[in-house]
Amino acid sequence: MIELPEATTIARQINAELQGKRIAEGNRGSSPHKFAFYNLLPEEYAAILKGKTIGEATVNGSCILVSIEPGHTLILGTGGERIVYHRSAASLPKKHQFFLHFTDATYLTVTVQGWGAALLLRQSEVAGHRFVNLEKPSPLSDDFTTDYFLGLFAALEKDDSSSVKFFMISKPGVLGVGNGCLQDILWRAKVHPRRRAVDLTKAEQRRLYAALRESLQKMVEGGGRDSDYDLYDHPGGYRRVLHSKVVGQPCSRCSAPIEKASYLGGAVYFCPKCQT
């Protein structure tokens, strides 16, 4: 699933590779997919995309907002989209859910894995769209300060029963952080995913802040996590600390065997000894 590090990587690659390219034809995909979400009819996608030019790509959380000039914005990256650039037709997949053919005979395809979306909005519709959140600061921005993060904890009711996992990825949530990025963040912070958020000490809150920033920075610098793919269909260079293949293996910090549990609609991986 695309989260902030992958969205940032792909947006950067779109700006370097695709910006300025003219769309000869585009459509919302050759293959029906139960969990691929669109906002317009196929013929409307085709009519809007034809003759338009790729503008700048920006990131909002895990969403990639690609300017389709003039006047429109393509939103990708809300889920498990595989967004791939093709230098020729030779590497085109048979099935895809979104397709652009550029006038220089290069292509962009989006195939949805699990679920995902390719929305084509008018630029004026972007700010109010439910996938877009312009209120929260990006966790890597200067506005995402220690005070801001500690303020989120301070706003919790004393009897709030939500866990750190819920706090980080749902409510209040950190923009662009989902269950994927979360695992290494909590490992670095030495915090257990099931711990009640309201019980974290100030020192632990600060440690979590530092771990969040450090982990996301490393993931962005690596070009995304090794579980996911970039615009060139290459896996990201950030090697995850915790994932399914290390279950039962010794924690690299304390040697206790790594555990896995199902929790809040997704697997969590943790060290039962040093994450408390």
Binding site residues, Zn ion, CB under 5 A: 251, 253-254, 256, 271, 273-274
Q: Which helix (H) or strand (E) holds 243?
A: none
| Helix %, strand %, coil % of the chain (to 5) | 30, 25, 45
Token pair belonging to 149: 């993060």
Q: Give the residue with the Cβ less far from Zn ion, 93 or 272.
A: 272
Q: Which helix (H) or strand (E) holds 106?
A: none
Q: What is the C-alpha separation between 37 and 16, in angstroms, rounded? A: 27
Tally of residues, the chain = 276
Q: Work out how close the CB of 193 gets to Zn ion at its nearest, in angstroms, rounded to a whole number.
A: 14
Tokens representing 55?
């503008």
Task: Detail the DSSP E strand segments found in 4-149.
Answer: 23-27, 36-37, 53-60, 63-69, 72-76, 81-86, 98-102, 107-112, 116-117, 119-122
Closest approach, Cβ 273 to Zn ion, in A, equals 5
- 194 vs 253, beta carbon nearer Zn ion: 253
> Minimum distance between the CB of residue 265 and Zn ion, rounded to whole angstroms?
25
Q: Which is nearer to Zn ion, 141 or 252 (CB)?
A: 252
Query: Closest CB to Zn ion among 187 and 209?
Result: 187
Tell the smallest beta-carbon distance from residue 195 to Zn ion (Å). Answer: 15
Pick 260 or 273: Cβ nearer Zn ion = 273
- Cβ at position 215, least distance to Zn ion in Å: 16
Question: Whose Cβ is closer to Zn ion: residue 51's or residue 257's?
Answer: 257
Helix count and strand count (H, E) for the chain: 6, 12
Q: How far is the CB of 274 from Zn ion (least distance, A)?
A: 3
Q: Please, which residue, 129 or 273, has the CB nearer to Zn ion?
A: 273
CB neighbour burial string for 133-145, b if at least 16 within 10 angstroms, e if fewer: beebbbbbeeebe
User: Cβ neighbours of residue 111 under 8 Å, at least 6 residues apart?
Assistant: 81, 82, 84, 93, 95, 96, 97
- Give min distance, CB of 190 to Zn ion, in A: 8
Q: Are strands 36-37 and 116-117 parallel, antiparallel or unpaired?
A: parallel
